[in-house]
């Protein structure tokens, strides 16, 4: 996890979660954004790992709290505790593994069951776009994104292609919801907690 100086001031804190099948490149996707590194031998995450990243956009400073969630099917019942409070969700699959795209819908349904359909912005992330022929998987991703009305990014943690763009774009979408009063951000002890208007945070 990246060490974050407590003295850094920010305007908003957004919680993002990154979910999908095992070994689709979720951790590599996050680490390329957080510290601009890539390790082909990256070990699989167990349960949940937390990363932080500060970015500046639209004359605001955002602290992104990024949860790398990796749960085996036998432990999926504990996923809601990691999902609650998220305002941004990356549904990740591998462009080199067409079967992995089918799993993202299971995660989508679990997340929306936990926090609702309108409490977060969802992006679909296809990883490993630098590896072989991915036309079929890419086409399926576009179809699914259109069906769910989500934005889709084809990315590569190895080359860095579209990784930063995806995070910045999601942040701008979430911030727009703040401006439109769809998400209310409440300050607590110099931090910001996200609460969906007219909803319970229990």
Cα separations (Å) of 142 from 42, 135, 159, 185?
Answer: 28, 11, 22, 32
Q: pLDDT > 70: what percent of the chain? A: 79
Q: Is residue 6 part of a domain?
A: no
Q: 21 to each of 27, 44, 94, 188, how far by Cα in Å?
A: 11, 11, 9, 35
CATH number at residue 131: 3.40.50.300
Residues 57-107: pLDDT tens digits? Answer: 989 999 999 999 875 554 556 677 888 889 999 999 999 998 999 889 989
pLDDT digits (tens, 9 = 90+) for 106-143: 899 989 988 887 888 999 999 999 987 788 999 999 99
* 106 domain residue, yes or no: yes
User: 74 φ, ψ to 5°?
Assistant: -75, -15
Whole domain around residue 50: which residue ranges? 12-196
Q: Is 91 inside a domain boundary? A: yes
**pLDDT class for 47, splitting at 50, 70, 90?**
low
Integer Cα distance of 83 and 163 in angstroms: 22
C-alpha to C-alpha distances, 159 to 23, 100, 129, 187, 199, nearest whole angstrom = 18, 21, 9, 38, 41
Q: How many domains does the chain have?
A: 1
């Amino acid at each position: 996890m990246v060490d974050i100086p407590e003295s850094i001031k920010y305007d908003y804190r957004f919680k993002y979660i990154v979910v999908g099948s095992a070994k689709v490149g979720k951790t590599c996707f996050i680490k390329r954004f957080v510290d601009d590194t890539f390790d082909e031998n990256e070990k699989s995450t167990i349960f949940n790992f937390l990363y932080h990243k500060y970015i500046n956009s639209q004359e605001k400073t955002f602290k992104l709290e990024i949860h790398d969630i990796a749960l085996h099917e036998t432990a999926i019942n504990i996923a809601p505790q990691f999902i609650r409070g998220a305002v941004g969700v990356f549904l990740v699959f591998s462009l080199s593994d067409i079967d992995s795209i089918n799993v993202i819908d299971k995660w989508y349904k679990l997340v929306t069951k936990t926090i609702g359909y309108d409490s977060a912005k969802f992006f679909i992330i296809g990883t490993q776009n630098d590896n072989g022929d991915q036309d079929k998987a890419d086409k399926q991703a576009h179809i699914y994104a259109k069906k769910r009305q989500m934005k889709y990014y084809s990315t590569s943690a190895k080359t860095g292609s579209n990784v930063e763009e995806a995070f910045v774009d999601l942040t701008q979408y979430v911030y727009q919801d703040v401006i439109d009063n769809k998400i209310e951000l409440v300050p607590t002890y110099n931090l910001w907690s996200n609460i969906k208007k007219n909803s319970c945070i229990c």
